[in-house]
Amino acid sequence: MSTEMTLFGGKQLPAYLQKGEMDAVTKALAGSGSSGRRISIKGGVFRMIADGKQVAENDDRAMNIVVVAAAPSINRQYYASTYDEGNIAAPDCYSQDGKTPAADATHPQGASCDTCPQNIAGSGQGDSRACRFQQRLAVVLDGDMEGPVYQLALPATSLFGKGEPNNVKMPLQAYARYLAQNGVPITAVVTEMRFDTAAATPKLTFKPLRPLSEEEFAISQSQGASSDAESAIKLTVYKQDTKNAAAAKPAAKPAPVQTTPAVEAEPVSVTKAKPAAPAAKRPVADVIAEWDAE
């Protein structure tokens, strides 16, 4: 059953609504526009992730995409401890622009990324750098360009290098330069990303397959300007919920209230025709004991 039949009892949607495009208001009220969609290359396999859960897997060595947006700078992340997949934690230091630590980095390692000791070859495992590079892209799938926008986070091995002389297998930066030299924007082509099976860790190479049609290019531009694409290319680090952590601590016991015994007022003489018999006085200690029992 179609959506329009469910919503409007069989009445057809106006032509301008049949494209199914969502505005920013609807996306804001519905929650996260991107729903946390991303493509993972963990284990040398293309995995489709939505809201933290794997929803699909592609065992092919290659996948065809269209790059619709990219973070303006390569970001950097440094973890002092060994990576633990089951433990989500913020990096000790990170940079949005790859030049200086973020203002809210918990343990900045240096004033500048270029001169940081974690940026020296050998500071990590083997000859690697302890501070890792990462480039975030917003991509759509060839054949489903009007579908979901996915985040693709690429490590340094997929970013840098010259690639092969025939320009068939290139790292991302060399691929982008190759397109630029030919006057073609990366957002105007179908790109094949392929695993390099000779690499010890997951590594992607890129090559152009075909130019987009004019109609497809318009879709690419629209997707690249969407809030989904903006979310995909933004580096958002995990933040501990300090509010809940504070709430979990037992509240401090209140200081004991000092009780001051009542002081009897001076008796006031009242002249009456027939004074009533005075009530028997109670010891102050008995009164205090009753207060404590309440």
Would you list the DSSP string of 108-166? ---S-STT-GGGSTTSSSTTS-SSEEEEEEEEEETTBTTS--EEEEEEGGGTSS---TT
Query: What are the two backbone dihedrals, phi and then psi, of residue 203, each rounded to the nearest 5 degrees?
Result: -140, 135
Single-letter code of the amino acid located at 135 = Q
Q: Which residues contact residue 188 at a Cβ distance below 8 angstroms, ignoring those fewer than 6 apart?
A: 211, 212, 217, 220
By CB atoms closer than 10 A (0-12, 13-18, 19+), residue 35 is middle
**Does the pLDDT at position 112 exceed 80?**
yes
Q: Which residue has the tokens 């590079």?
A: 133
Q: Give the DSSP per-residue string, 70-119.
A: E-SS-EEEE-SSPP-TT-----SEEESSSSS--TT-SS---S-STT-GGG
Q: Predicted confidence band at 13 (pLDDT cuts at 50, 70, 90)?
A: low
Q: Predicted confidence band at 2 (pLDDT cuts at 50, 70, 90)?
A: very low
Domain boundaries, the chain: 30-237
Q: Dihedral of the CA atoms 45, 210, 161, 59 (nearest 10)?
A: 10
Mean pLDDT for all residues in the chain: 76
pTM over 0.85: no
Q: Which of 176, 186, 188 is nearest to 218 (CA)?
A: 188
Return d(Cα 135, Cα 158) in angstroms, integer.
Answer: 9
Q: Are 81 and 95 a contacting pair, CB within 8 Å?
A: no
Structure tokens at 271: 């002249």
Q: Predicted confidence band at 9 (pLDDT cuts at 50, 70, 90)?
A: low
**Does the pLDDT at position 51 exceed 70?**
yes
Return d(Cα 13, Cα 106) in angstroms, integer.
Answer: 52
Q: Predicted confidence band at 192 (pLDDT cuts at 50, 70, 90)?
A: very high
Return d(Cα 71, Cα 227) in angstroms, integer.
Answer: 13
